[in-house]
């Protein structure tokens, strides 16, 4: 395909700031969209920074002018007021501008496993790419489903060369520790404090004690889910970009395998010398993500299992690094 330049939206966000230097390293000329929410885009050579708001219907055509590819990451999360305009109109304006141009060779849309309902619904089999859209309750999953439906229609109606990458819950920095330990910072769902029902569980929050959460089903077995490290997300984007076999396809992008909360809790408990606090929860359904298609078609082989994600999170804390401001803790 020989794509040489690419528009990157959401370039100041969690994924955007991780993928931008890799695009530059790979030799792409990048036009990076920076939005005025304080998430600044790193100033790098071969990166043209454009400031703007995707809700502005005039912007998309200017952004894609001279571009050969689009990586659309910009998004607001669980925001009832903004998601229709920023996510749906924003995606529509970009797709429509691409349709009207004749120079976009690939459009990559950030999708999400939220579109398949993750732990909110029972999943007797690994979730593969053919699993029907079934977002869990909330505006964010609704948005991820509707963005994908729009992409599917632009592919069907206008043969736009679209690739959808459906990321699992993405972990960077010390996200996994913020998720699994009880004291702040807190990150992601479930929120342990909301599920504290026994006097022992409540005591941790009342007294500000720290511990490692372990999610159990009522029968006593540990909950299982699958997440992905941000470096693997970057790897998937780099494998999909400029790859003709990726065009017209959707791919799951997750870690190498699901993890069990008891295994994670034991590992973190030993490393941080913290007690394990069990949370027995009936609302959680195990799920895993089928990675066969992305492995065989993209050659995507994720490097970050749960232990490596934890090890890098511990290093992040040991180095005294600060978590970036988080617009949405999930
Ligand atoms: N973070 C995850 O766990 C996760 C999981 C699955 C899928 N995804 C998807 O991956 C993509 C990137 O996620 P992220 O975690 O990097 O998001 P993020 O919240 O860190 O970044 C979002 C970016 O969108 C930009 N933005 C917001 N409103 C805008 C507007 N009106 N105009 C222009 N830019 C605007 C922000 O400035 C920011 O750069 C999103 O589409 C998200 O849905 C993320």
Mutation pick for ligand 1 pocket among 8, 13, 63, 88 (CB with most ligand atoms within 8 Å)? 13
Cα-to-centroid distance, 9 and ligand 1 (Å): 9
Is ligand 1 within 6 A of the CB of residue 141?
Answer: no
Backbone angles phi, psi at 213, to 5 degrees: -75, 140
Cα-to-centroid distance, 271 and ligand 1 (Å): 32
Is residue 324 pLDDT above 90, yes or no?
no
Is ligand 1 within 6 A of the CB of residue 35?
Answer: yes
Cα-to-centroid distance, 218 and ligand 1 (Å): 35
Share of the chain above pLDDT 70, in %: 98
Is ligand 1 within 6 A of the CB of residue 252?
Answer: no
pLDDT band at residue 328 under the 50/70/90 scheme:
low
287-306 pLDDT, tens digit each: 999 999 999 999 999 999 99
pLDDT band at residue 38 under the 50/70/90 scheme:
confident
Does the predicted model carry a pTM greater than 0.75? yes
The count of residues in the chain is 330
Q: What's the confidence (pLDDT) of residue 330?
A: 58
Measured distance between the N- and C-terminal CA atoms of the chain, rounded to whole angstroms: 35
Q: At what angle do helices 306-318 and 261-272 cross, to 10 degrees?
A: 30
| Residue 110 C-alpha from the chain's centroid | 8
Cα-to-centroid distance, 110 and ligand 1 (Å): 9
Is residue 125 pLDDT above 60, yes or no?
yes
CB of 305 closer than 8 Å to CB of 256: yes
96-105 pLDDT, tens digit each: 999 999 999 9
Q: What's the confidence (pLDDT) of residue 151?
A: 98
Cα-to-centroid distance, 6 and ligand 1 (Å): 17
Cα-to-centroid distance, 53 and ligand 1 (Å): 13
Is residue 1 pLDDT above 80, yes or no?
no
Q: What's the confidence (pLDDT) of residue 329?
A: 60
Q: What's the confidence (pLDDT) of residue 206?
A: 96
In the chain the domains, ranked by start, together with CATH numbers, are 5-170+229-253 (3.40.50.720), 175-225+257-287+304-318 (3.90.25.60)
Compute the average pLDDT of residues 223-232.
98
Task: Report which protein residue has its CA nearest ligand 1's atom 14.
Answer: 14
Q: For ligand 1, what atom is nearest to the CA of residue 109?
A: 41
Q: For ligand 1, what atom is nearest to the CA of residue 114?
A: 6
Is ligand 1 within 6 A of the CB of residue 135?
Answer: no
Work out whether strand 29-34 and strand 212-216 pair parallel, antiparallel, or are unpaired.
Answer: unpaired
Is ligand 1 within 6 A of the CB of residue 40?
Answer: no
Q: Where are the beta strands (DSSP E) in the chain?
A: 5-9, 29-34, 47-51, 69-72, 106-112, 162-167, 169-171, 212-216, 224-225, 227-229, 250-253, 259-260, 276-280
Out of 86-90, 192-196, 246-250, which region has the weakest mean confidence (pLDDT)? 192-196
Is residue 15 pLDDT above 70, yes or no?
yes
126-179 pLDDT, tens digit each: 999 999 999 999 999 999 999 999 999 999 999 999 999 999 999 999 999 999
Compute the average pLDDT of residues 196-201.
95
Which sign does the torsion angle of CA 311, 317, 320, 321 carry? positive
Is residue 327 pLDDT above 60, yes or no?
no
Compute the average pLDDT of residues 61-89.
96
Task: Report which protein residue has its CA nearest ligand 1's atom 17.
Answer: 13
Q: Please give the mean pLDDT across all residues of the chain.
A: 96
Mutation pick for ligand 1 pocket among 7, 10, 54, 115 (CB with most ligand atoms within 8 Å)? 10
45-70 pLDDT, tens digit each: 999 999 999 999 999 999 999 999 99
């Amino acid at each position: 395909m020989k794509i040489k330049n690419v528009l990157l939206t959401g370039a100041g966000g969690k994924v955007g700031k991780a993928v931008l230097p890799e695009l530059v390293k790979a030799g792409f000329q990048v036009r990076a969209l920076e939005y005025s929410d304080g998430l600044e885009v790193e100033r790098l050579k071969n990166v043209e920074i454009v400031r703007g708001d995707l809700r502005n219907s005039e912007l998309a055509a200017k952004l894609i002018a001279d571009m050969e590819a689009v990586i659309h990451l910009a998004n607001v999360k669980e925001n009832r007021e903004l998601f229709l305009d920023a996510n749906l109109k924003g995606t529509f304006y970009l797709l429509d501008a691409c349709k009207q141009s004749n120079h976009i060779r690939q459009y990559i849309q950030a999708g999400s496993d939220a579109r398949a309902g993750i732990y909110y619904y029972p999943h007797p089999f690994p979730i593969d790419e053919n699993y029907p859209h079934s977002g869990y309750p909330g505006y964010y999953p609704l948005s991820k489903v509707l963005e994908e439906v729009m992409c599917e229609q632009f592919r069907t109606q206008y043969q736009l060369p679209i690739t959808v990458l459906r990321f699992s819950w993405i972990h960077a920095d010390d996200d996994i520790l913020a998720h699994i330990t009880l004291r702040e910072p807190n990150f992601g769902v479930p929120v342990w404090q909301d599920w504290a029902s026994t006097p022992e569980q409540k005591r941790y929050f009342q007294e500000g004690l720290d511990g490692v959460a372990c999610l159990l089903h009522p029968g006593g077995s540990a909950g299982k889910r699958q997440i992905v490290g941000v470096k693997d997300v970057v790897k998937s984007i780099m494998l999909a970009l400029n790859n003709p076999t990726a065009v017209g396809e959707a791919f799951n992008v997750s870690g190498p395998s699901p993890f069990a909360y008891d295994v994670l809790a034991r590992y973190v408990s030993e490393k941080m010398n913290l007690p394990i606090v069990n949370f027995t929860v009936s609302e959680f359904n195990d799920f895993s993500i089928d990675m066969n298609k992305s492995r065989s078609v993209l050659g995507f082989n994720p490097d970050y299992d749960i232990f490596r994600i934890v090890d890098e999170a511990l290093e992040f804390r040991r180095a005294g690094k600060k978590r970036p401001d988080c617009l949405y803790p999930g």
